[in-house]
Chain A
Amino acid sequence: MTLPAPPPVAARPFDRESFWTVAVGLPALVSVLRLWAEAGGDLETTLLLVANVGPVNLFAGLVVTATWLVSAALVAIFAIGSLTHAALPPTATRLSWTSLFAQLAVAAPSWLRIIAFVLAALTWQLLYLPLLILAACAAFGQYPDRNRGRPTGWIVAGVGYLVLLGPVAVRAALGGYLVPLAYLVLPPVLLALGAARPVPASLARPFAAIAQGSTLTLVLLAVTPLLTTPVLPRGVIIVTGSDGAPAQPVRGHVIEVNDATTAVLRARGGVEFIPNDRIADRILCPDEGEAARYRLWVFGLHIEDSILQGVGRFHRPAVPLDPRCRPTVPERQPGAGFSPVEPTTPPSTTPPSTTSR
């Protein structure tokens, strides 16, 4: 009878407890910070938001806006970690900077790798998917190599890539869009040149230091726009004028609706409680950040949409923009007050409050 071989001693330099603490605690922290940023840094407004935004909504909002970043960080760790595998010290006992990603990549279970890449494929803009292919090749150790036999598979893959994305690359070149062109053309070229090949041991450590430093810097830079992404949907509330004055828009985010008032966080700051009987219309508007940068489409999907977004758009094509979402028509002045529709005080004693036009 032979005993089963002892499991290989994997380098697991961090304990699971702290991992799960970070995995659960960080989203909660980021969510609260986002509320703070959304409130314009004002404590009272933050508290009002906290009181009205449910934890589930907050978490869902975070998932929608931050999944791409989390998956991007994981993909970077796995890709750079595999590339710099040679930087691993012979006996891994504790984390060291020059082999940090390599150690994390070795320690990560394969299900986490697969989930990270699947999430990235679904939530990254189509534009970045060629880069994801390059990263996946690096992370899973797939690269063209003469010593591994005939490269038939790679040639087929290259032709397939050309057929799929060649036309859009040509359109990008004709349209003068250099960034998308670089993203479409360079990853397969670099892959063919061996960018997914593990870096030789002699250079692995300096390469790891630079790559890890750049990744961390980029993630930190990307956190700022993430924190300022709105938590609440952007919209326009049309408020009827008193004394026959024309209706005026209030632009901002609806915090709360009760049976008497609607609380709106105005786009330029400040909260306004609008009596419900003065609200003529509510419109949902797209976020300013959604304006696309390139006019390029792949099989009908916009190149700046993720696969999830694109499929969703096919399923329910977006409605045309409501004209009232434009910033042309002036907003109602903040703090203009809401005089009751039927004044309770005689007009001779109190002049009716006027709404500014």
Chain B
Amino acid sequence: MLTNLRQRFLALPKRGRVAVLAAIAALLLVVSTSAWGLVAPDDDTIDAYLEQSGLKNRTELRVGVLKDQPLLSYAEPQKRQSTRLADHSGFDVEIIRALAAYLGFTENSVRLIDTQVQNRGSDLSNDLVDVVVASFSMTPQREEEEVNFAGPYLTSKPEVLMRADDRSGETISIYELGKRGERLCTVGASTSDEALRRSGINNFIGVATGGECVDGLLRGKYDAFMLDDVVLAGYKADHAEQLKLVDLVLNQNEKWGIAVANDDEPLRQVIGNFLLDSYERRENGAWQRAWNRTLGRVLSDRRQPEPDPYQRLRDYRDRIQAQAQAQAPLHHGAGLAGSPPGRTPVVRARSVRRSRRPR
């Protein structure tokens, strides 16, 4: 039978043979890919990963935050005890709002729990919180010992906050900073703390919260407060007249991550996908909206840092992305006049930032 077919095939002219092979290839293409479509795995979705994560069967999302960082994550002193999202403001809070919705929690089922810089990792391992969004730098040591990170969701570099009447110029070196001794303040267990110690500076003051450093700075107890620029930006915005930001000459860039418990890889992947999703949506992404509303008012125009690679999980929202991607070219050309109504907020946010005046 097969020999017979082979003989018939070989008896055809060359072009006829190619045509028959092409028709068979087309048939194979349809059959193989359709069969694959029917048996393709469906456990690579956000929902499937959420079902495997530590959040399964949780009625509330407990998020560890710092509450004394204006524009980043802040609650009025009389509302520090509140765990409601609505009582807080700042970039981290906006990110948490979007992340919670992505994870399946409405605004009312999110609890923001006050944490301290030195307790961020232990709060997670003691199951006091589910995720931590609190200026947590992704360091290999922390990833190995304490927690797992999804990120980076923000990058920062150490800078220095000083009183406006301080005689120092626009930049300062870590050596000059070290000479301030006990009049230099930073937050204990922070990466600035580590950077100072690495440079052989040990006689500075390490306190529990940034607010203490700012108070000391305003009262004249300290001369300088060293910490990440995005944190200092908020304090600067609150005390625009009294304080100034001084650029620290130090080649150190921090990547901040959203921390999850060490054994919760599914949740880490889901949060990584949340960041990737926001990154791909550019101006429509959760990150850019959060930035424009908060830190973007003080710091310069920034884009979301590219997240680490994560396994791409499938989600219902993926198709909606078409709008963001399809309209993206409009931004580069002169097509803004033709952009549909959905784009207007972004355009407005940009013009606000352009007309920003120093506060």
A contact residues vs B (CB 8 Å cutoff) = 83, 131, 134, 179, 182-183, 186-187, 190-191, 193-197, 199-200, 202-203, 206-207, 210-211, 214, 218, 221-222, 225, 246, 286, 288-293, 295, 297, 299-302, 304-305, 310, 313, 317-318, 320-321, 323-330, 357
Contacts and interface: CB of A to CB of B under 8 A. Distances in A.
Contact of A328 (B58, B280, B314): B58
Q: Which 10 A-B pairs have the closest CB atoms?
A: A326-B104, A300-B326, A194-B19, A328-B104, A195-B22, A193-B22, A291-B314, A292-B318, A202-B8, A197-B19
Contacts of A321: 315-317
A302 B47 CA distance: 21
B3 interface: no
B128 interface: no
Contacts of A299: 326
Given A293-B40, A327-B47, A199 B20 contact: yes
B59 A357 contact: yes
Given A218-B35, A304-B319, A329-B59, 20 more contacts: A131-B26, A131-B29, A134-B26, A179-B36, A179-B37, A182-B33, A186-B29, A190-B23, A195-B25, A200-B20, A207-B23, A221-B38, A286-B316, A297-B326, A300-B325, A323-B101, A324-B104, A325-B316, A327-B47, A327-B104
Interface stretch (B9-17, B69-77, B149-157, B292-300): B9-17
B316 A290 contact: yes
A200 B38 contact: no
B323 A300 contact: yes
A60 B23 CA distance: 36
B246 interface: no
Residue among A222, A225, A286, A292 having the largest count of chain B Cβ atoms under 10 Å: A292
Most chain A C-beta atoms within 10 Å of own C-beta, residue among B29, B58, B100: B29
B334 interface: no
Contact of A295 (B22, B27, B38, B312): B312
A327 B322 CA distance: 25
A338 B320 CA distance: 38
B104 A194 contact: no
B317 A320 contact: yes
A291 B318 contact: yes
Contacts of A200: 12, 16, 20
A327 B50 contact: yes
Interface string B89-109: 000000000001111111001
A297 B109 contact: no
A68 B159 CA distance: 60
Contacts of B322: 297, 300-302, 305, 310, 313
Contacts of A301: 322
B47 A326 contact: yes
A211 B104 CA distance: 46
A212 to B, nearest CB: 11
Nearest to B33: A179
Interface string B227-255: 00000000000000000000000000000
A221 B33 CA distance: 13
Contact of B20 (A207, A292, A293): A207
A328 B55 contact: yes
Contacts of A325: 104, 316
A329 B34 contact: no
A190 B56 CA distance: 49
A328 B54 CA distance: 10
Contacts of A195: 19, 22-23, 25-26
Contact of A202 (B11, B51, B109): B11
A270 to B, nearest CB: 19
Contacts of B102: 323
B320 A317 contact: yes
A202 B12 contact: yes
A318 B319 contact: yes
B22 A190 contact: yes
A183 B33 contact: yes
A309 B53 CA distance: 33
Nearest to B325: A297
Contacts of A323: 100-106
A273 B109 CA distance: 26
B5 interface: yes
Given A292-B319, A320-B320, A328-B103, A300 B327 contact: yes
A203 B15 contact: no
A321 B16 CA distance: 53
A198 B49 CA distance: 49
B51 A327 contact: yes
27 contacts: A131-B29, A182-B33, A186-B25, A186-B26, A190-B23, A190-B26, A194-B15, A194-B18, A199-B19, A200-B16, A203-B5, A203-B9, A291-B318, A293-B314, A300-B325, A300-B326, A301-B322, A318-B320, A320-B317, A320-B320, A324-B104, A324-B106, A327-B47, A328-B56, A328-B57, A328-B105, A329-B58
A329 B55 CA distance: 8
Nearest to B47: A327
A286 to B, nearest CB: 4
Given A194-B18, A293-B40, A326-B50, A305 B23 contact: no
